[in-house]
Amino acid sequence: MNPSIHVADVNKSFALGKVKVEALKSISVDVARGELFGLIGPDGAGKTTLFRILTTLMLADSGEATVDGLDVVRDHKEIRKRVGYMPGRFSLYPDLTVAENLSFFATLFSTSLKENYDLVKSIYQQIEPFEKRKAGALSGGMKQKLALSCALIHRPTVLFLDEPTTGVDAVSRKEFWYLLRELQQAGITIMVSTPYMDEAGLCDRVALMQEGRIMEINSPRQVTKNFKKALWSVRASDMYKLMMDLRALDQVETCYPFGQEHHVVFKGDIRDAEQARAIVSTIEASHLQMNQIEATIEDCFMELMRQ
């Protein structure tokens, strides 16, 4: 079966003043039908540019891309009928009410809320009490739910969501991902971007992106499995001093703070606990503790950035 999204060797650059910025460098990726696919990367990774090309709002410099088997250049009109797109910036009409925004987008696609109520129901119900409120006066979380309802109103086959959870608190983020799973079960292919590495684990597969390149495409489980070095968690009472001391050690390759622990990789990839302990115990620190741990997506991302 054809992939739902197919991207082959896409390049795109912009002129920013006198500087040429390569926003996408030879990007290739296939997303299967019904997949929940994540683009994981920080600001400037190229996530938004890729969304714009796939939603036919921007032309690539070279390469080819299809959505639902349709070419993003030749068949752009047909693609626009089929995809839903929620941009990173709130793009609804702030001076229209919740209900008016929804009916506006429904009308554009020659449909109605009633026709597709089953699909948007669980999301729309949460904003229904504020139907008569102007969209501009909604809180961040509610704006996001309205935007998602509008992106779904024409029952798209593919949904593009650009950083839907940025700036959203941990609870609302959880709920949002739950909604995405529901939509996936309704058969919609979803491509979603996020700068939060912990959200990668909620996708079927992810592309780790940095500065216009895809560093790796894999299931989140396989991404962490591919971290081949031994990773150590080290703790002590003074974590700032511990970090400085660890980084000053010749045998330490990398030392990154991770909340209440530091994640350390030794030069020569030391796996033996006694050997590792011997190195660290040259540091003067109280309550020094260490143990070997499994890598998180963020460890993997930083390791890939180093390569």
Residue ranges binding other proteins (CB under 8 A): 16-17, 19, 41-45, 129-130, 133, 138-142, 163, 166-174, 195-198, 210, 239-240, 243, 256-260, 298, 301-302, 305
> Looking at beta carbons only, is 95 or 198 nearer to other proteins?
198
Task: Check if the beta carbon of residue 296 is closer than 8 Å to that of residue 224.
Answer: yes
> Looking at beta carbons only, is 157 or 166 nearer to other proteins?
166
> Looking at beta carbons only, is 110 or 260 nearer to other proteins?
260
> Looking at beta carbons only, is 187 or 257 nearer to other proteins?
257
For residue 203, the minimal CB distance to other proteins (Å) is: 17
Q: Which residue has the tokens 């008016």?
A: 100
> Looking at beta carbons only, is 44 or 187 nearer to other proteins?
44
For residue 5, the minimal CB distance to other proteins (Å) is: 24
For residue 44, the minimal CB distance to other proteins (Å) is: 6
For residue 221, the minimal CB distance to other proteins (Å) is: 19
> Looking at beta carbons only, is 69 or 129 nearer to other proteins?
129
For residue 258, the minimal CB distance to other proteins (Å) is: 6
> Looking at beta carbons only, is 84 or 141 nearer to other proteins?
141
Q: Which amino acid belongs to residue 31?
A: V
Task: Check if the beta carbon of residue 300 is closer than 8 Å to that of residue 224.
Answer: yes
For residue 244, the minimal CB distance to other proteins (Å) is: 9
Phi-psi region of 265 (alpha: psi -120 to 50; beta: other; left: phi over 0): beta
> Looking at beta carbons only, is 172 or 218 nearer to other proteins?
172
For residue 262, the minimal CB distance to other proteins (Å) is: 10
Q: How many of the other CB atoms lie within 10 Å of CB of 122? A: 13
For residue 171, the minimal CB distance to other proteins (Å) is: 4
